[in-house]
Amino acid sequence: MKKLMITICCGFILFLSCKSVQSQKRSADAVDSKVNTYVKNIEIVGRGVINTINSPNVKLKSIDIGDCSWTDGFWGDKWKEAEQVMIPHMGSILKGDIGHAYNNFKIAAGLKEGKHKGFAWHDGDFYKWMEASVYLYGVNKDEKIIKELDEIIKVIAKAQQPDGYLSTSIIIREDLEPFENRKNHELYNSGHLLTSAVIHHRVTGKTNFLEIAMKHANMLYKLFQPQPQHLKRFGFNQTQIMGLVELYRTTKDNRYLELAEIFINMRGKTKIIRNNITKEYSVGDMVQERIPLRKESEAVGHAVLALYYYAGAADVYAETGEQALIDALDRLWDNVVHKKMYITGALGQTHFGRSSRKDNIEEGFMAEYQMPNLTAYNETCANICNSMFSNRMLGIKGEAKYADIMELVLYNSALSGISLDGKHYYYSNPLRKIEGALNYKKMNTEFPQRQPYLNCFCCPPNLVRTIAKSPAWAYSKSSNGISVNLYGGNKLDTRLLDDSKIKLKQETNYPWEGQVKITIEACKKDPFEILLRIPDWAKGTKVMVNNNPIEKIEAGSFAVIERQWKKSDIILIDMPMDIKFVEGHPRIEEVRNQVALKRGPVVYCLESVDLPKNANIFDAYLSSDKMLEAIYKPSLLGGIMAIEGEVLIRKDNLKGMYNEVQKPKFESYKTQFVPYFTWSNRGDKEMTVFLPIIWN
């Protein structure tokens, strides 16, 4: 009788269990069906990287992915390298046993045995590589790219949980619960999932990836929209804000925009216990939660977290137009660019430090003008995020200064993160390296040379996706015309906001030379405007249309030329490319009485390989009376414009910490300076951007 009762009970429990599973499956199926139905009714309007074509508070609207392509010259070469080397090579890493990101999805999907490997945010790194691949397809239309991505998307779909949850480190590990600890970076993974899926949909028209993203976003809305107490401080690396806004722009589902704003509003609401060691990892300024965004006046904490956060807030403003939000972003952009940014456009002064409000921080901002060179952290991701934030502000404000920062980062602190062969990577980007000064064995992200693989792999895919999407940053649509944001050999074939066709061809050897030729290949008959960005450094720029000079060209602004254009009209831009000494603000103590060399948008450095044998980089001085000359060297570092000239090598043998000296002894030495982004491609050598100068 006892055995019979046990059997009946077990059977009943099994029945209830099966019924519960079936109920969950029906619920999940209903969600899937609703998403599928919704997706089928979506009309693609605008295919921009940041699709602002219908955003009400944006002055310069996005062009579509594929409308512009780099054809030759500097960016033509870089884009081709991304297509042929950078992205395929990275894919082989991430899909293999070294990068293991794809393996994690296979394990989570039940298609492979094993344990999760890598950091919790590795899913997001994989999504970035997928996004980069789609940008390639948007230009080259190579169907093999989409075929491979479709197979990957099938695996991701199988890994996704019935309720829409998707983060492989939590799915695979049984000892972790979803959203119990923000250092697991689930929302970071979410943001890159949403962004990658939206870009895939815009370029291909397919909905297989978009359906996964919507199902996931619906889960986030259900969980976070009520703002339960235990989740009010949740969020670490908040890429989900940008992803949600782009999903809103694609689907027109207001819930996604609402949730994006909720994530902004939740910051700064909760009382912070200073240096409290909690399960939630870092607190306070480290994650920008001590002061509400709308009241903040200083960039604080982890630089990547901050800039992703600001970029997401800019996306929200583009849709809502809230004045308090843009006022805060204006203050923060100004603080970043004018008080905490390196000459290369890099951000994040320190690996470990304190905020101005005395919170412990990592990989981020210190006090204003506190700018070390040797220990400068300058994570590649932070530098790229700087350009992403400025790119959004360019659209909103329509001012050239934002494109100046985009360009500064692209030519300097972004490209320094990858080797010239496209297969080795830097995480941090210091402005000085001295042999023996740092113990790299005790560091986890700083290395003496670029590495073939970084365990923390967030930066490499971020960089290659930036190169892949850079053609879409070159132009924007104004109310009645087109703005030229970046210079480089390219072709533009797009439609203005009134749906009229325009085709431009840009020919130039920029940034090595300052001459740019733009030819109108097709346009409407009615008058329209072409906005030409005149960089802030390009004082004395001349512009001609069909050999007729344009008056009142002002550096640091857009030159607006409105006229009745016609096919074969030619615009000639001539920007002076003088070699300039650049000094830091007097409060930047470490570079006082030192200067850096800059030519056009490119910052230069000196490497010890170009100094006499046994000379250290700190032995080199510049002299104001020594002539410097720009010389193009096709066989050096892939073909660069080098700066040649004499430096003074100090011959004193200084051994003590402090040394009495009467008059330093110098010897003149002819050397060369190379673009900062090319450093560390000729072996493990010393390097510096700033050098002491002797004024004669």
Question: What is the rounded CA–CA span in Å between residue 49 and residue 65?
Answer: 6
Name the percent of the chain lying above pLDDT 90: 81
Contact 350, 366 (CB under 8 A): yes
| Structural class in CATH, domain 475-574 | mainly beta
Run of H or E including 8: helix 2-40
Contact 102, 56 (CB under 8 A): no
Judged against a pLDDT cut of 70, whether residue 86 lies above it is answered with yes
Which neighbouring-strand residues pair with 233?
Answer: none
pLDDT at 271: 73
| 3-state class (DSSP) for residue 471 | helix
Which neighbouring-strand residues pair with 670?
Answer: 646
pLDDT at 301: 94
CATH code, 61-473: 1.50.10.20
| 3-state class (DSSP) for residue 45 | coil
Three-class SS of 391-454 = HHHHHHHCCHHHHHHHHHHHHHHHHHHECCCCCCECCCCCCEECCCCCCHHHCCCCCCCCECCC
pLDDT bracket for residue 31 (50, 70, 90) = low
Question: What is the rounded CA–CA span in Å between residue 315 and residue 309?
Answer: 10
> Which residues lie closer than 8 Å to 587 by C-beta, 6 or more apart?
368, 369
Question: What is the rounded CA–CA span in Å between residue 25 and residue 16?
Answer: 14
Number of CB atoms found within 10 A of residue 507's CB: 18
Q: Which residues of 305-328 are buried (b: 16+ CB within 10 A; e: fewer)?
A: bbbbbbbbbbbbbbbbebeebbeb
Q: Which residues of 463-498 are buried (b: 16+ CB within 10 A; e: fewer)?
A: bbbbbbbbbbbbbbbbeebbbbbbbbbbbbbbebee
Contact 171, 122 (CB under 8 A): no
| 3-state class (DSSP) for residue 541 | coil
| pLDDT, tens digit (0-9, with 9 covering 90-100), for 235-294 | 888 999 999 999 999 999 999 999 999 999 998 887 765 544 444 457 788 999 999 999
Question: What is the rounded CA–CA span in Å between residue 215 and residue 161?
Answer: 10
> Which residues lie closer than 8 Å to 50 by C-beta, 6 or more apart?
62, 246, 315, 391, 392, 395
| pLDDT, tens digit (0-9, with 9 covering 90-100), for 549-608 | 999 899 999 999 999 999 999 999 999 999 999 999 999 999 999 999 999 999 999 999
Contact 237, 308 (CB under 8 A): yes
| Encoded tokens for 186 | 């689930």
| 3-state class (DSSP) for residue 259 | helix
- Give the residue-averaged pLDDT of 508-534: 98
Give me the numbers of helices (H) and strands (E) for the chain, helices first please: 16, 24
The domain segmentation of the chain, as residue ranges, is 61-473, 475-574, 579-694
> DSSP characters for 123-183?
HHHHHHHHHHHHHHHHHH--HHHHHHHHHHHHHHHHHS-TTS---HHHHH-TT--TTS-GG
> Which residues lie closer than 8 Å to 663 by C-beta, 6 or more apart?
none
pLDDT at 52: 97
Classify residue 362 as left (phi > 0), alpha (psi -120 to 50) or beta: beta
| pLDDT, tens digit (0-9, with 9 covering 90-100), for 206-220 | 999 999 999 999 999
Q: In what order do the strands lie in the sheet with 570-574?
A: 68-72, 489-495, 501-508, 515-522, 570-574, 542-545, 548-549
| pLDDT, tens digit (0-9, with 9 covering 90-100), for 343-386 | 999 999 999 999 988 888 999 999 999 999 999 999 999 999 99
Which neighbouring-strand residues pair with 504?
Answer: 492, 520
Is beta strand 570-574 parallel, antiparallel or unpaired with respect to 628-633? unpaired
Contact 640, 634 (CB under 8 A): no
Is beta strand 579-582 parallel, antiparallel or unpaired with respect to 548-549? unpaired
Candidates 550, 583, 588; CA nearest to 692 is 583
| pLDDT, tens digit (0-9, with 9 covering 90-100), for 163-174 | 999 999 999 987
| pLDDT, tens digit (0-9, with 9 covering 90-100), for 456-478 | 999 999 999 999 999 999 999 99
Number of CB atoms found within 10 A of residue 525's CB: 9
| 3-state class (DSSP) for residue 602 | strand
Judged against a pLDDT cut of 70, whether residue 12 lies above it is answered with no
